[in-house]
Structures are given as C-alpha cells and as structure tokens.
Chain A
Amino acid sequence: MSPFAEYAIAFLLLLGGAFTLIGAIGLARLPDFFTRLHGPTKATTLGVGAIMLSSVIYFSARGEGIGISEVLITVFLFMTAPVSANILAKAAMHIGVRTMDGTEGKPWEQ
C-alpha cells in the first residue's frame, strides 16, 4: 500500500471518529431538544461518511475493487438524516417539548 493511501486512510478515520464523538457530545450536553437535533444530523452523518470513505480507499488500495456498498450506505445516510431530523422535529413540536431560555421565536401550532 502506498504511504499516501495510508496517510489518507488514517486521517479520514481519525476525522470520522472525531466528528462522530463530537456529534454525541452535542447530543449529551446541549440544553434542549431542538439544539440537540443539530449534532447528530450534521456531525455524525459526516463522521460516518468519512469512515466509509476511508473504507473505500482501504479496500481499493488493497486491490479488491471499489466498494459500491459503502457508497450506497453513505448516500442512503445522507438522504435519510434530514428526513428523520425533520420528522422528529415535527413530533417534538406536536408534543410541545420545552425549549431553552433565550430561544427567539416559537414553534407554530397548526
């Protein structure tokens, strides 16, 4: 395996792990539900995407061809993350989850 591929794989792995961890930290420590929604939808999705990319590079550098499954999983995750965030936000608004002090504006009722 070429050293360049090794550096790229290691870098992508660490980046992905860091983003996944940061998304989880956001989920654990942000103050209310709507702010917590931001961590997983963005950071975690990108983190898993980076880990997938490193897997693609790893297996193609070993000469096993380009993994279509990884690409499919990544595309699927990027497509579903906003949908689940949206539907969860709707559910939270319906239940009337408490928002943190200092939130400007209000979720509407209809």
Chain B
Amino acid sequence: MLDRLSFPQPWLSLILFVTWQFLSDGISGGSLVLGLILAWAIPQMTQGFWPERPSFMRFWLMPKYLARVLKDIVIASFQVAALIISPRKPRPAFVCYPLELEHPLAISILASTISLTPGTVSADVSDDQRLLLIHALDTENEQEVIDTIRKRYEQPLLEMFK
C-alpha cells in the first residue's frame, strides 16, 4: 500500500511540480495541491515506459555539457543557413556510428544532441543498441564526422554515466 503512495522518480516529480507552478497563474493553494497530485500520478502511470534508471549519474557535469551544446546549436544553424542559401549542391551521407555508450538514456541524449548540432541528424539506433545511423547534410569524410562526435559529445556523456 505504501508502495503505491510513494514517488518512484523523485526528480521527475520535482520537475513536474515546479513546471505546474510556472504554468498556473501564480502560486496558490489550489495550484500547490494540483501540482502535488500531478507529481504523484504521472510518474505512477508512466512507470512502465521508463527504461531502468542509471546506477550512477554525475548530474553536476550536465550544465557544462548543455552550455557546449547550446553554443554548437547556434554555430550549427549558421552553417546550415549558409549551406541552404549557397547554390552549390550538398553532399549528404549516411554514417554508421559505433556507440560506446550503453545506457538507453545516455544514447537518447546523444541522439538528440546529434540532431541539433552541425550538419547531422540521427536517424536510427540498431536493435542491439551498438550502432547509430546518422545522416550528415554536407560531408566529405565520414571518419571526420565520427571523430568529432566522439570527442565532443560522447566522451562527456561517458564521464557522466560512468
């Protein structure tokens, strides 16, 4: 019985609660109660969909990673914009990226990062979660794409999920 009243994912509950306070018109008694109910009910209902939790995650490395990604998003947009306007044809390529990460959450973070950063969109993960299929918009050298991603994004994530 107590099990059903607990918060299986405290972080998710906290985020839901705070978001609900922002969404409602000022903090009041009603929004606090409703926020608590939502923070309890949504993790309970969606529990079956979540992958297993990482055993250990270094949260404090996240801001640095996010800052790097944000900077790269701006650069990426300028590069893609320049390519879209220029009359020359792009040289697209599908690249198979061998993953070193193992945790599903880490892989999905990496895939999202790849989609938002210069010239690449992640298209698929192989069934055994060892390969990531990436579509690069404009590249001459596949190895270069792989090396950049490994150095810039996968290493920090490996640190985080070690």
- Chain A residues in contact with chain B, CB under 8 A? 18-19, 22-23, 25-26, 29-32, 34-35, 37-39, 41-43, 45-47, 68-69, 72, 78-79, 81-83, 85-86, 89-90, 93, 99-100, 102-108, 110
Contacts and interface: CB of A to CB of B under 8 A. Distances in A.
Q: Is the interface of A mostly helix, strand, loop or mixed?
A: helix
Nearest to A22: B81
B54 interface: no
B77 A108 contact: no
Given A47-B77, A89-B123, 11 more contacts: A23-B84, A34-B135, A38-B137, A46-B73, A69-B22, A72-B23, A86-B123, A99-B92, A102-B89, A102-B92, A104-B91
A46 B74 contact: yes
A14 to B, nearest CB: 14
Contacts, number: 120
Contacts of A82: 111-116, 121-122
B143 to A, nearest CB: 12
Contacts of B121: 34, 37-38, 41, 82, 85-86, 89
Contacts of A29: 84
A81 B94 CA distance: 20
Interface residues of B, number: 37
B90 interface: yes
Contacts of B91: 102, 104
